[in-house]
């Protein structure tokens, strides 16, 4: 049985060799035509060569200056020098794919003209967006970095676009964050100014009471009562009248003074706490942090990356050879079938 299988394999192999030898000239011609044709049609006359430039960067862990630099408590993920993780990388990819960056790149480099798109067409923007997506891609690497890849017929243009997109990432993300930061700062600022105004009014009221002789109710009350008792024992009516006048003022405004004093202490404590938030919110609203760490800047490529001509030629030649063999085998089977059918008709 093993010998039969082996003989069958030898028979099949020899048949294949015989078949290839029999049709060697047509197959050679097909290979030669495919080789020349793929070389010719993959030339710059038909396929515009493109150069590739890339930028590789890591996302920053923290985006808040106040939390990174002004917060006394150390919190994980708020270190200004720490690299970001999955969430931050996904955020960068979403921003890179946003129209905020796309539109600014298109305007800066006039890509509609650069890509030779008809500006009078009704679908000019659809064609422009399609060309942009075909030539500019963003992806996350296996090391959690974000890669910007730009293909262009001009190697310097490819490098400039890639570096520009990387720089626009900071402004795009900071602009989005600033919208919330400014609003938050306005809320804190309004509350801070309101609390500060309330404190100033209390201080003014205490100054007014001080001008009336109300400075420290508890201490003054104790001293005046002692002096009144001494004047009473000595029968000094003039002193008693003067002291009674002061006691009357103290009795009239003492409660107000104590309430204002307690309120001032409470407002001062609140203002101290709010002042810290005010400073942090102001820093977040007015200052920016880089949102990424550049690992590799884009540079002008010296060799084209597209098309890969040797791969096109090899695949085209092999595909043509394979299809030729299939076609010849089918034709032989059809020819054998027709011959066998004619033979059967002749026998009958």
Q: Do 223 and 148 have their domain in common?
A: no
**Residue 343 within any structural domain of the chain:** no
Q: Do 248 and 198 have their domain in common?
A: yes
**Residue 307 within any structural domain of the chain:** no
Q: Do 151 and 110 have their domain in common?
A: yes
Q: Do 140 and 177 have their domain in common?
A: yes
**Residue 128 within any structural domain of the chain:** yes
Residue 76 has a pLDDT of 47
Of 9-13, 149-153, 296-300, 302-306, which range is least confident?
9-13
Q: Do 90 and 219 have their domain in common?
A: no
User: pLDDT (tens digit, 9 = 90+) per residue, 146-187?
Assistant: 999 999 988 999 999 999 999 998 888 888 777 777 888 888
**Residue 304 within any structural domain of the chain:** no
Q: Do 68 and 217 have their domain in common?
A: no
The CATH number assigned to the domain holding 80 equals 3.30.70.1130
* Residue range of the domain that includes 167: 51-182+288-296
How many domains in the chain? 2
CA atoms within 13 A on the CB side of 34: 21
Residue 56 has a pLDDT of 93
Averaged confidence pLDDT in the chain: 77
Query: Could you give the CA distance from residue 187 to residue 64 in angstroms, rounded to a whole number?
Result: 18
Structure tokens given for 309: 């001509």
Q: Do 162 and 250 have their domain in common?
A: no
Q: Do 82 and 92 have their domain in common?
A: yes
Query: Could you give the CA distance from residue 15 to residue 5 in angstroms, rounded to a whole number?
Result: 15
Query: Could you give the CA distance from residue 103 to residue 120 in angstroms, rounded to a whole number?
Result: 19
pLDDT of 138 > 70? The answer is: yes
Q: Tell me if residue 52 falls in helix, strand or coil.
A: strand
Residue 5 has a pLDDT of 39
Domain end among 286, 304, 327: 286
**Residue 263 within any structural domain of the chain:** yes
Q: Do 167 and 83 have their domain in common?
A: yes
User: Residue 244 — pLDDT band, cuts 50, 70, 90?
Assistant: low
Q: Do 170 and 249 have their domain in common?
A: no
Q: Do 158 and 226 have their domain in common?
A: no
């Amino acid at each position: 049985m093993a010998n039969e299988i082996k003989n069958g394999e030898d028979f099949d192999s020899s048949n294949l060799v015989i078949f290839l030898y029999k049709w060697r000239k047509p197959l050679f011609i097909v290979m030669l035509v495919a080789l020349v044709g793929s070389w010719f049609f993959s030339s710059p006359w038909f396929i515009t060569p493109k150069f590739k430039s890339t930028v590789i960067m890591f996302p920053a862990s923290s985006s808040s200056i106040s939390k990174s630099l002004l917060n006394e408590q150390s919190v994980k993920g708020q270190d200004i020098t720490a690299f970001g993780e999955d969430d931050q990388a996904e955020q960068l990819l979403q921003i890179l794919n946003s129209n905020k960056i796309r539109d600014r790149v298109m305007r800066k480099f006039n890509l509609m003209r650069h890509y030779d798109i008809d500006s009078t067409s009704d679908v000019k923007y659809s064609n422009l967006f399609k060309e942009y997506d075909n030539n500019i891609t963003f992806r996350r690497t296996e090391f959690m970095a974000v890669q910007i890849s730009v293909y262009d017929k001009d190697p310097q243009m490819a490098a400039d676009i890639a570096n520009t997109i990387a720089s626009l990432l900071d402004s795009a993300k900071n602009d989005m964050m600033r919208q919330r930061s400014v609003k938050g700062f306005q809320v804190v600022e309004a509350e801070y100014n309101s609390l500060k105004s309330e404190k100033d009014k209390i201080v003014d009221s205490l100054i007014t009471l001080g001008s009336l002789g109300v400075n420290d109710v508890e201490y003054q009350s104790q001293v005046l009562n002692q002096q009144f008792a001494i004047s009473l024992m000595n029968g000094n009516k003039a002193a008693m009248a003067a002291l009674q006048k002061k006691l009357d003022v103290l009795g009239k405004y003492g409660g107000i003074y104590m309430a204002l004093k307690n309120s001032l202490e409470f407002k001062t404590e609140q203002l101290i706490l709010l002042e810290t938030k005010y400073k942090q919110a102001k820093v977040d609203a007015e200052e920016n942090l880089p949102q990424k760490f550049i690992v590799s800047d884009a540079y002008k490529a010296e060799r084209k990356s597209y098309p890969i001509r040797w791969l096109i030629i090899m695949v085209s030649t092999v595909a043509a050879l394979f299809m030729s063999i299939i076609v010849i085998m089918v034709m032989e089977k059809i020819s054998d079938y027709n011959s066998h059918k004619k033979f059967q008709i002749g026998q009958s």
